[in-house]
């Protein structure tokens, strides 16, 4: 067993996924199989092998420091679930008391 | 030009030449495809959105430029199917997800912009596995697409909608994205040509991100030359993408026209054969290798010992990047928002929206990535996977000291039945076994049809892999195989596809 149902519930919470009990049951079994399979990377990745983060490595991509166009507020807000006075309107971000 | 009376059967190169010569108008071509979509797409379900008016307006603009004597670009007037993962200012962009249903982006992706500038006519947006996660289009929130060779089979994925559209002659060209094989695998199982260009050769700006270090836009077409023409039209440096390469586009069109493999050193990947491969896939693959030899290529077997670890490494790296990228779908600025009753907190609204808006595969990958990146597991999983990525790039480097290109089957099996792997994520993941190494190392690869598997009569793909920025080599080999097999058969392979009911009233029946 590589992962427990409780651990999956914790991952769901970290991932901001409000999963049902049924989903947690199903995902726990599936993730256990998947994690056991992907753990094979540990067989060959010995210490000292450098990691690769990108297929083709770049460092410090610069551009000329000139003004360019960008989206206006109207365009940026056009698809918002809720907007008010030129701002995104969001649910409360602090809990009661 | 005499290419037959049904315009939709022409190659993109033939269509463009006819438009340029004034033998057919871009509007006629566009109308022929829109008519066919209206008749046939109820069977195939390739499109999520058809932009009839916008397509006709784009076609009229091409015709007007020609009438005014202005020069036309090489693919001007040719109709295209665009994967619904690229932003389009005049069409919705859903990524096959409920969380983005109806989203109208405020800007065009660089790929979209370049297609428009080239005079390519965008017919609409095509179906895909949700956020490009899958190998069958069954993970689309809007239902699966169907394989034109056999409608009960998957068209592959994640770019299955674009592949199904091109294979059913609903569009002459398709654009897909390839993160682990999502262009090459649907190309293989639909009998098409599909190319994953070198990473950074085609822009990711406006491509809704799945795994940023792997995502690569590229062509899905019926011929190698059409793929090369489309490759050239979309490629080249883009200042809006910080990983875009500052390098000339490799001479892919010239390579596709040359199609000469005499003296070329071809390596057969030893690891991609044996158990798990359908016998018909191996039969056709071995024949293709013999064919290359008969055309003058020098064939040897090459071992790439770490390729067996590409799949596990990929299923750590891609989900890790996905868990970070998909955090942007937070129900605050765009897309779905559920449960905002004035009492619920932002965090509750977010969790409820994401649980309802994402499908099962996306949820699995977000949680898998969150696991692999969490403290305590990072070194054992994500860190190890990144080391494997180095080993795989090393295998390629060693192989390309001995040979000019590597070849393998594109997929272990032909198109599988819809539903067969839907509840078995690991079985679904195996569809990308042979395609993933090139995504991890960033090099170019192409899939070209190499015949039908005797046991089921479904297409098999030959994968050709070349070093980073040697994209022209995969076109050279692909065109040689396509030409020789076409000559042997006497007609293009795709003409044997018979899954679509062509009867005039078939669409109307299915639509009722």
Question: What pLDDT is recorded for position A97?
Answer: 52
DSSP-derived 3-state class of residue B266: strand
Residue B9's pLDDT band, with cuts at 50, 70 and 90, is very high
CB distance B36 to B55 below 8 Å:
no
Angle formed by the axes of helices B26-44 and B160-167, to 10°?
110
CB distance B300 to B267 below 8 Å:
yes
Question: What pLDDT is recorded for position A70?
Answer: 87
Question: What pLDDT is recorded for position B512?
Answer: 36
Range B101-119 average pLDDT: 97
User: Across the interface, do A27 and B384 touch by the CB < 8 Å criterion?
Assistant: no
User: Across the interface, do A55 and B344 touch by the CB < 8 Å criterion?
Assistant: no
| Chain A residues with CB-CB distance to B309 below 8 A | 40-41, 43-44
What are the contacts of B381-385 at 24+ separation with CB within 8 A? B381/A38, B381/A39, B381/A41, B381/B316, B382/B316, B382/B317, B382/B320, B383/A45, B383/A51, B384/A41, B384/A42, B384/A45, B384/B313, B384/B316, B385/A38, B385/A41, B385/A45, B385/B312, B385/B313, B385/B314, B385/B316, B385/B317, B385/B320
* % chain A with pLDDT above 70: 97
**Cα–Cα distance list, B278 to B155, B438, B458 (Å):** 17, 22, 11
pLDDT of B508 > 60? The answer is no
* Minimal Cβ distance to A41: which of B239, B312, B425: B312
Residue B338's pLDDT band, with cuts at 50, 70 and 90, is very high
Residue A96's pLDDT band, with cuts at 50, 70 and 90, is low
Residue B380 Cα, gap to closest chain A Cα (Å): 7
Residue B449's pLDDT band, with cuts at 50, 70 and 90, is very high
Question: CA nearest A25: which of A12, A8, A38, A1?
Answer: A8
Question: What pLDDT is recorded for position B506?
Answer: 55
User: Across the interface, do A16 and B330 touch by the CB < 8 Å criterion?
Assistant: yes
| Ranges of each domain in chain A | 5-44
Q: Residues of B with catalytic annotation?
A: 83, 158, 182
Range B197-216 average pLDDT: 98
pLDDT of B1 > 50? The answer is no
Range B79-105 average pLDDT: 97
Assembly ipTM:
0.95
Indicate the range of A65-74, B285-294, B332-341 predicted with least confidence: A65-74
Question: What pLDDT is recorded for position B96?
Answer: 98
pLDDT of B391 > 80? The answer is yes
Range B321-346 average pLDDT: 96
Strand ranges of the sheet holding B193-196, from the earlier edge strand across to the other edge: B47-50, B121-126, B79-83, B173-178, B216-221, B193-196, B444-452, B459-466, B405-409, B265-269, B298-302
Residue B291's pLDDT band, with cuts at 50, 70 and 90, is very high
What's the CATH architecture for B9-308+389-499?
Answer: Alpha-Beta Complex (3.90)
Question: Is A5-44 assigned to CATH 1.10.20?
Answer: yes
Closest alpha carbon within chain A to B354: A17
Cα gap B447→B135, rounded to integer Å: 15
pTM greater than 0.95 (yes/no) = yes
User: Across the interface, do A95 and B345 touch by the CB < 8 Å criterion?
Assistant: yes
pLDDT of B507 > 60? The answer is no
Residue-wise burial string across A7-40, b where 16 or more C-beta atoms lie within 10 A, e elsewhere: bbeebbeebbbbbeeebbebbbebbbebbebbeb
| Chain A residues with CB-CB distance to B355 below 8 A | 17-20
User: Across the interface, do B345 and A92 touch by the CB < 8 Å criterion?
Assistant: yes
Q: Considering chain B, what is the average pLDDT of its residues?
A: 96
Q: Does A73 touch chain B (CB under 8 A)?
A: no
Cα gap B286→B284, rounded to integer Å: 6
Number of H helices, E strands in chain A: 4, 2
Range B223-235 average pLDDT: 98
Question: What pLDDT is recorded for position B505?
Answer: 57
* % chain B with pLDDT above 90: 95
**Contacts A–B by Cβ distance under 8 A:** 185
């Amino acid at each position: 067993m590589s992962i427990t149902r409780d651990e999956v519930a914790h991952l769901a919470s970290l991932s901001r996924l409000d999963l049902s009990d049924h989903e947690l049951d199903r995902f726990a079994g599936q993730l256990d199989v998947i994690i056991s399979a992907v753990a094979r990377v540990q067989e060959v990745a010995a210490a000292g092998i450098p990691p690769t983060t990108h297929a083709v490595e770049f460092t410090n991509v610069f551009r000329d420091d000139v003004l360019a166009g960008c989206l206006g507020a109207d365009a940026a807000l056009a698809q918002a679930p809720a907007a008010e006075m030129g701002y995104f309107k969001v649910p409360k971000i602090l809990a009661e008391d | 030009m005499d290419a037959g009376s049904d315009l939709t059967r022409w190659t993109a190169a033939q269509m463009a030449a006819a438009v340029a010569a004034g033998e057919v108008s871009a509007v006629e071509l566009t109308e022929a495809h829109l008519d066919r979509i209206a008749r046939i797409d109820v069977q195939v379900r390739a499109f999520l959105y058809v932009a009839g008016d916008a397509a006709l307006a784009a076609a009229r603009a091409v015709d007007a430029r020609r009438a005014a004597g202005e020069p036309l670009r090489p693919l001007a007037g040719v109709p295209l199917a665009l994967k619904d993962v690229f932003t389009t200012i005049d069409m919705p962009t859903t990524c096959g997800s409920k969380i983005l249903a109806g989203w109208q982006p405020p800007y065009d992706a660089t790929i979209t912009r370049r297609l428009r500038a080239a005079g390519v006519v965008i017919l609409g947006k095509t179906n895909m596995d949700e956020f490009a996660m899958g190998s069958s289009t069954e993970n689309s929130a809007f239902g699966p697409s169907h394989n034109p060779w056999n409608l009960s089979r998957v068209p592959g994925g994640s770019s299955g909608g674009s592949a199904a559209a091109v294979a059913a002659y609903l569009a002459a060209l398709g654009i897909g994205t390839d993160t682990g094989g999502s262009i090459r695998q649907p190309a293989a199982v639909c009998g098409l040509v599909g190319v994953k260009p070198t990473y950074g050769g085609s822009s990711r700006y406006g491509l809704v991100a799945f795994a940023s270090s792997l995502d690569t836009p590229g062509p899905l077409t019926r011929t190698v030359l059409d793929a090369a023409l489309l490759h050239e039209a979309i490629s080249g440096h883009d200042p809006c993408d910080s990983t875009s390469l500052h390098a000339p586009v490799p001479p892919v069109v010239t390579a596709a026209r040359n199609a000469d493999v005499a003296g070329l050193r071809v390596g057969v990947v030893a690891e991609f054969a044996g158990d798990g491969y359908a016998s018909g896939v191996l039969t056709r693959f071995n024949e293709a290798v013999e064919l290359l030899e008969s055309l003058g290529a020098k064939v040897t077997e090459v071992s790439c010992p770490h390729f067996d670890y590409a799949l596990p490494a990929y299923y750590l790296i891609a989900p890790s990047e996905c868990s970070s990228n998909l955090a942007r779908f937070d129900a605050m600025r765009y897309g779905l928002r559920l449960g905002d009753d004035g009492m619920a907190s932002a965090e509750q609204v977010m969790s409820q929206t994401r649980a309802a808006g994402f499908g099962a595969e996306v949820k699995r990958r977000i949680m898998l990535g969150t696991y692999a990146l969490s403290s305590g597991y990072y070194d054992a999983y994500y860190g190890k996977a990144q080391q494997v990525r180095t080993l795989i790039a090393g295998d390629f480097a060693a192989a390309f000291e001995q040979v000019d290109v590597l070849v393998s089957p594109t997929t272990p099996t032909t198109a599988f039945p819809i539903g067969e792997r839907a509840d078995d994520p690991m079985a679904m993941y195996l569809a990308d076994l042979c395609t993933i190494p090139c995504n991890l190392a960033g090099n170019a690869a192409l899939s070209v049809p190499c015949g039908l598997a005797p046991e089921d009569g479904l297409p098999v793909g030959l994968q050709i892999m070349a070093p980073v920025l040697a994209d022209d080599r995969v076109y050279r080999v692909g065109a040689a195989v396509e030409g020789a097999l076409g000559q042997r058969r006497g007609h293009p392979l795709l003409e044997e596809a018979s899954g679509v009911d062509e009867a005039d009233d078939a669409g109307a029946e299915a639509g009722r």
